[in-house]
């Protein structure tokens, strides 16, 4: 059962539009069993949300995405968790990661303009208690996100070998 759950998760991670019937055929189990597995995974908060990756640039919408390196002072007994929670509650924040290296948190935010990103950093993020410094990196172009290639066609570029 654990292996089937893992297989369901891997398939849904690649394509969340797969139906129970399609998953059942791929995994050689009943659609009812798949339905029960998915419901259990949702109840257990293993499947948190189904999402869509959108190429906003092709749609003609301009979104500004920034990766902000944040240095913080961990708090006694809660470490980085409390400040990370304060940061991830802002609506502009898409992701927050605790990282190793020269900074502590990697914060990904999205706004309509560069000025909006700058205002967020200056007015909301940098003034937070325990934030010691930030460094903002603007995402100039997305090539690949969550396994999806954004530029050109994902074609096989290997040379054809004829025996």
Q: What's this model's pTM, rounded to 2 decimal places?
A: 0.78
DSSP code string of 86-145: HHHTSTTEEEEEE--SS-SEEEEEEESSHHHHHHIIIIIITTSTTEEEEEEEE----SEE
The SS3 call for residue 71 is: strand
CATH of domain 2-43: 1.10.10
pLDDT digits (tens, 9 = 90+) for 89-131: 999 999 999 999 999 999 999 999 999 999 999 999 999 999 9
Residue spans of the domains in the chain: they are 2-43, 56-141
User: What is the overall mean pLDDT for the chain?
Assistant: 91
pLDDT digits (tens, 9 = 90+) for 15-57: 999 999 999 999 999 999 999 999 999 999 999 998 888 888 8
- Distance from C-alpha of 119 to C-alpha of 143, rounded to nearest angstrom: 27
Q: Do domains 2-43 and 56-141 have the same CATH topology?
A: no
Q: The domain at 56-141 falls in which architecture?
A: 2-Layer Sandwich (3.30)
CB 90 within 8 A of CB 124: yes
């Amino acid at each position: 059962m654990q292996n089937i759950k893992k297989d369901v998760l891997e398939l849904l991670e690649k394509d969340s539009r797969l139906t129970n019937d399609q998953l059942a055929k791929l995994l050689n189990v009943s659609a009812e069993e798949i339905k029960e597995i998915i419901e259990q995974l949702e109840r257990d908060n293993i499947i948190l949300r189904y999402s869509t990756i959108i190429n906003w640039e092709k749609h003609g919408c301009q979104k500004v995405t920034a990766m902000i390196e944040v240095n913080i002072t961990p708090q006694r007994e809660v470490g980085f968790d409390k400040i990370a929670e304060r940061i991830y509650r802002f609506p502009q924040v898409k992701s927050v990661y605790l990282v190793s290296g020269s900074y502590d948190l990697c914060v990904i935010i999205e706004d309509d303009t560069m000025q909006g990103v700058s205002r967020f950093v200056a007015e909301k993020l940098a003034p937070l208690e325990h934030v010691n410094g930030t460094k903002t990196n603007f995402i100039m172009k997305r090539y690949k996100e969550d396994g999806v290639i954004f530029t050109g066609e994902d074609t096989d570029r290997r040379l054809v070998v004829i025996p």
